[in-house]
Amino acid sequence: MSLALRPIFRKLRFQMIADSHVAQVEALFANLYRETNITKHQPVVTIPFEARLEVIGDPQGDGRWIQVRLPDDRAAWIQAGDITLTPRNNAGIAELIEWSRRFLGLPYLWGGTSTYGYDCSGFTQMLCRRRGYSLPRDAGPQAQWVGAKMVEKTDLQPGDLLYFGSSAQHITHTGMYIGNGQFINATAYQHPIVQIDNLNEEHWTKLLVAATRIK
C-alpha cells in the first residue's frame, strides 16, 4: 500500500469498526487466544476492562467463544463470559457502589485509566461512565464540570464526588462517597491501590475542599 493511501485506509477501517459489532471487555481482565482452547497455548494478549474489539466471527463452542480482531489485524478468540455486546451506562447509585467494589485492590498508577492501574481521576471518570456521564480527565476540571452541582460536606449522599487538595483552586485528588463516612478511591496514600477510606480520618478531613453531585 502506498504511503499516500494509508491515511484513507485508516479512516475507512475506523468507519468499518464503528459500524460493525463491537465486543467490550466486562471482566477486570480478559485473555485472548489463537484458538478455542485455553490449554494448548498461552494467551496471545491480556486486555483490561472496557477494552473494545471488533467481532469478526460467529460464536463457537456452544456460544462460549467469540472471534475478534486485534489492533494489528490478527484474529483471536475471547471467551463470551469476559465480554458484553451491550455495554451498561445507566447504573443506579446503589448498583454502582456495589459494583465498584470489584475494583478494590487494583494498583494505583499515576495517569492510569484502566484495570492495569488507575489514578484517582481515571477511576472516578470510569465509575461515572457506568452511569452514562462523561467527566473531564483530571480531578480539578472534574470538580468544575458543569454537569454537577456543589454540595455541602454536611449534606453528602452516596454517589457524590469528593475533591481533595490544599484549596478549592488546587485540587489533587478525588473519590466517590459511598455512605457511612466512607469513600472509594484510587490513591497512593499508605497503600497504592483502589481502596475504601474513612472520610473522618484526619488526613482526609483536612484535605477535603469540595463535593459535587451529578445533576
**pLDDT tens-digit series, residues 94-131:** 999 999 999 999 999 999 999 999 999 999 999 999 99
CATH code linked to domain 6-84: 2.30.30.40
Sign of the torsion angle spanned by Cα atoms 148, 49, 26, 10: positive
Alpha carbons 112 and 136: distance in angstroms, whole number: 14
Q: How many residues does the chain have?
A: 215
Task: Choose the catalytic residue: 128, 173, 191, 200.
Answer: 173
Q: What is the pLDDT of residues 85-99, one digit of tens each?
A: 999 899 999 999 999
Alpha carbons 17 and 14: distance in angstroms, whole number: 5
Q: What is the pLDDT of residues 131-182, one digit of tens each?
A: 999 999 999 999 999 999 999 999 999 999 999 999 999 999 999 999 999 9
Question: Is 90 marked active-site?
Answer: no
Over residues 201-211, the mean pLDDT reads: 97
pTM for this structure? Answer: 0.86
CATH code linked to domain 93-214: 3.90.1720.10
What pLDDT is attached to residue 202? 96
What pLDDT is attached to residue 14? 41
For residue 51, the tally of other CB atoms under 10 A from its CB is 18
Task: Choose the catalytic residue: 120, 170, 200, 203.
Answer: 120
How high is the mean pLDDT of the chain? 91
Task: Choose the catalytic residue: 41, 180, 185, 198.
Answer: 185
Alpha carbons 131 and 12: distance in angstroms, whole number: 31
Cite the residue boundaries of each domain of the chain with CATH code 3.90.1720.10.
Answer: 93-214
Question: Is 128 marked active-site?
Answer: no
Over residues 52-64, the mean pLDDT reads: 87
Q: What is the pLDDT of residues 3-37, one digit of tens each?
A: 444 444 444 344 444 445 899 999 999 999 999 98
